[in-house]
Amino acid sequence: MSKKISDTTKPNDFAFGKENYVIMIIGLIVIIIGNLLMIGGGSDDPNVFNPEIFSFRRITLAPIVILLGFTIEIIAIMRKPKD
Protein backbone atom coordinates (compact mmCIF):
# COMPACT_ATOMS: atom_id res chain seq x y z
CA MET A 1 0.00 0.00 0.00
CA SER A 2 1.65 3.16 -1.15
CA LYS A 3 0.46 6.57 -0.18
CA LYS A 4 0.55 9.39 -2.67
CA ILE A 5 2.24 12.50 -1.38
CA SER A 6 0.64 15.62 -2.74
CA ASP A 7 2.82 18.59 -3.44
CA THR A 8 1.36 22.04 -3.01
CA THR A 9 4.16 23.63 -5.01
CA LYS A 10 4.61 23.51 -8.72
CA PRO A 11 8.01 22.70 -10.20
CA ASN A 12 8.36 26.23 -11.61
CA ASP A 13 7.62 28.07 -8.35
CA PHE A 14 10.28 30.44 -7.11
CA ALA A 15 11.09 31.21 -3.50
CA PHE A 16 9.95 34.82 -3.88
CA GLY A 17 7.30 36.58 -5.90
CA LYS A 18 7.93 39.04 -8.72
CA GLU A 19 7.45 42.00 -6.37
CA ASN A 20 10.15 40.64 -4.05
CA TYR A 21 12.64 40.37 -6.90
CA VAL A 22 11.87 43.91 -8.06
CA ILE A 23 12.47 45.24 -4.54
CA MET A 24 15.73 43.24 -4.35
CA ILE A 25 16.95 44.78 -7.60
CA ILE A 26 16.11 48.26 -6.28
CA GLY A 27 18.07 47.51 -3.09
CA LEU A 28 21.04 46.29 -5.13
CA ILE A 29 21.00 49.47 -7.23
CA VAL A 30 20.96 51.59 -4.03
CA ILE A 31 23.96 49.64 -2.68
CA ILE A 32 25.85 50.18 -5.95
CA ILE A 33 25.06 53.91 -5.83
CA GLY A 34 26.42 54.05 -2.28
CA ASN A 35 29.65 52.40 -3.38
CA LEU A 36 29.96 54.79 -6.31
CA LEU A 37 29.62 57.70 -3.90
CA MET A 38 32.77 56.50 -2.11
CA ILE A 39 34.91 56.49 -5.26
CA GLY A 40 37.64 59.08 -5.73
CA GLY A 41 39.50 61.48 -3.52
CA GLY A 42 42.86 59.96 -4.24
CA SER A 43 45.97 61.83 -5.22
CA ASP A 44 48.11 61.32 -8.32
CA ASP A 45 51.22 62.18 -6.34
CA PRO A 46 51.70 60.01 -3.21
CA ASN A 47 53.66 62.83 -1.53
CA VAL A 48 50.69 65.23 -1.68
CA PHE A 49 47.82 64.85 0.79
CA ASN A 50 44.32 65.33 -0.60
CA PRO A 51 41.78 66.26 2.11
CA GLU A 52 38.95 65.36 -0.29
CA ILE A 53 39.04 61.79 1.05
CA PHE A 54 37.38 63.07 4.22
CA SER A 55 34.45 64.77 2.46
CA PHE A 56 30.86 64.52 3.70
CA ARG A 57 29.94 62.44 0.67
CA ARG A 58 32.49 59.71 1.39
CA ILE A 59 32.41 59.64 5.19
CA THR A 60 28.71 60.15 5.92
CA LEU A 61 26.44 60.00 2.88
CA ALA A 62 27.80 56.87 1.18
CA PRO A 63 27.59 54.60 4.27
CA ILE A 64 24.05 55.80 4.96
CA VAL A 65 23.02 55.04 1.38
CA ILE A 66 24.60 51.57 1.60
CA LEU A 67 22.79 50.82 4.88
CA LEU A 68 19.56 51.98 3.26
CA GLY A 69 20.19 49.53 0.42
CA PHE A 70 20.75 46.66 2.84
CA THR A 71 17.55 47.62 4.68
CA ILE A 72 15.66 47.47 1.39
CA GLU A 73 17.14 44.02 0.75
CA ILE A 74 16.00 42.78 4.17
CA ILE A 75 12.50 44.13 3.53
CA ALA A 76 12.44 42.38 0.15
CA ILE A 77 13.43 39.07 1.71
CA MET A 78 11.02 39.29 4.65
CA ARG A 79 8.02 40.47 2.62
CA LYS A 80 5.47 37.74 2.07
CA PRO A 81 4.84 37.14 -1.63
CA LYS A 82 1.30 37.68 -2.84
CA ASP A 83 -0.52 34.54 -3.92
- pTM score, two decimals? 0.78
H or E segment at 68? helix 62-78
Per-domain residue ranges for the chain? Answer: 18-78
Burial of 27 (0-12, 13-18, 19+ CB in 10 A): buried
Cα(8)–Cα(2) distance, integer angstroms: 19
With a CB cutoff of 8 Å and minimum separation 6, the contacts of 20 are 76, 77, 79, 81
Per-residue pLDDT of the chain (83 residues; tens, 9 = 90+): 556 665 565 666 778 889 999 999 999 999 999 999 999 877 788 888 888 888 999 999 999 999 999 999 999 999 987 76
